[in-house]
Homo-oligomer: A and B are copies of this chain.
Amino acid sequence: MRTTLADERVLMKHGAGGRAMRRLIEEVMTVGLAEGLKPGDLGLNAMDDGAAIRIGDRWLVMTTDSHVVQPIFFPGGDIGRLAVSGTVNDLSMMGATEVLGLTCAVVIEEGFSRADLIRIQQSMRSAAIEANAPIVTGDTKVMGRGELDGILLNTTGVAITEHVVTDAGLRPGDHILLTGAIANHGFAVMTARHSLQLEGNLVSDVAPLNGLIRNVLAAGGRHVVAMKDPTRGGVSSALHEMAAKANVTIVLEEAAVPVTDEARAVSELLGIDPLHVANEGKAVIGVRPSVANAVLNALRAHPLGRDAAIVGRVVEGRPCVVLDTGVGRRLLVEPEGEPLPRIC
């Protein structure tokens, strides 16, 4: 019913992680794909970070991501580190921190530099070692000059876990934690792409989070009830999805959200809210109040969680995100999509 003339072609916003993308996925990509799943399995219709399939008394978790970031090398990382981290993080967000294997499929434009390919491969290898996630199989395709802009990576990961954490488990009273400062990835890629000269040291946060999340689950156990990595569309998109799925209101305290001075400066320069900007090494975590402090301490004890904070509370109400600015409250509007294309 929503289809209009403008919807007859795929637009940039359809890949940007916000409302437009969710509609495309719901209206086209997932239609009729649930048949083969057994009841209880978590498939595409759940629109989570991945799928969970029952194997005996455990779950096989699977997730896939293509990476088209531009430029491929940026402050703090590159497309290879991004691909490994993104997939490890999606598995981690479902509670699966022990990675059985990653696949790596690479599509390369004819004429691509072999030296750059080696650099990307070595970066993938380092990130895989960091995450203790072996890259077990791959595929290589080449497209003609002008048929692809440089290189594209797809990584798919599988892991086994006894307990799956979805992004739908919030209820009133729960606390929302952020594992660290936001928006550095999106802003770092953007400044690299447009060669903006900035003060300070703005670098992407891209990192595999499975070690950090292992600590979270050890501290919070089954009271860790929802996790999501705020990539495209940023923390705002992640919170909107969590609120919608659990049918709750999330109240976010703006002053509690960690933002570095460098990211703040770029945000003000460009007029882009850091809440809408992609991260690649952060998690939004919903926990029962009884474990909030234990999880916070576990986060802060890990190098990737030093700046973690409790940033919000879940309350009864219609599914939405309310921003408490300290001087008042307003609705946080869900972005139509990530403001920056090809951010991951």
Q: Which A residues fall within an 8 A CB radius of B?
A: 3, 7-16, 21, 24-25, 28-37, 41, 43-44, 50-51, 53, 55, 60, 62-68, 100-101, 103-115, 117-118, 121-122, 125, 128-129, 132-144, 146-149, 152, 154, 156, 158, 160, 341-342
A33 to chain B, nearest CB (A): 5
Taking A28-B114, A33-B128, A142-B341 as known contacts, 7 extra A-B pairs with beta carbons closer than 8 A to each other, sorted by chain A number, are A9-B113, A11-B111, A31-B125, A36-B135, A43-B134, A44-B138, A62-B137
Instruction: State whether B140 touches A107 (Cβ < 8 A).
Output: no
Q: Which of B36, B55, B134 contacts A129 (CB 8 A)?
A: B36
Among B32, B53, B110, B125, contact of A10 (Cβ-Cβ < 8 Å)? B110
Copies in the complex: 2
Q: Which residues of B contact A14 (CB under 8 A)?
A: 108, 140, 142
| A64 in contact with B9 (CB, 8 Å) | no
Which residues of B are found within 8 Å of A34, using beta-carbon distances? 134
B100 A8 Cβ-Cβ under 8 A: no
Partner of A341, one of B25, B101, B111, B144: B144
What CA separation (Å) do A111 and B110 show in the bound complex?
Answer: 23
Q: A10-B112, A133-B36, A143-B149 are in contact. Are A30 and B101 (CB under 8 A)?
A: no
Q: Which residue of B lies closest to A143 (CB)?
A: B68
Contact status B141-A68, CB under 8 Å:
yes
For residue A37, give the distance in angstroms from its CB to the closest CB of chain B.
5
Q: Are B141 and A66 within 8 A (Cβ)? A: yes
Q: How far is the CA of A297 from the CA of B10 in the complex (A)?
A: 48
21 CB contacts below 8 A, A to B, read A9-B111, A10-B109, A10-B110, A12-B142, A15-B141, A16-B142, A29-B106, A30-B138, A33-B125, A44-B137, A50-B137, A51-B136, A62-B158, A63-B103, A64-B137, A66-B105, A66-B154, A68-B107, A105-B156, A107-B152, A147-B148
Q: Which residues of chain B have C-beta atoms less than 8 A from A108's C-beta?
A: 10, 14-15
- Bound together, the chains give a CA A103 to CA B44 distance in angstroms of 9
Question: Which residues of the partner chain B approach A53 to less than 8 Å between Cβ atoms?
Answer: 100-101, 136
| Cα–Cα distance between A21 and B142 once the two chains are bound (Å) | 10
Would you call A135 and B11 a contact (CB within 8 A)? no
Rounded to whole angstroms, the CA-CA distance of A122 and B36 in the bound complex is: 15
Q: Give the distance to chain B from A230, nearest Cβ to Cβ, in Å.
A: 16
Inter-chain contacts of A36 with B (CB < 8 A): 128-129, 132-135
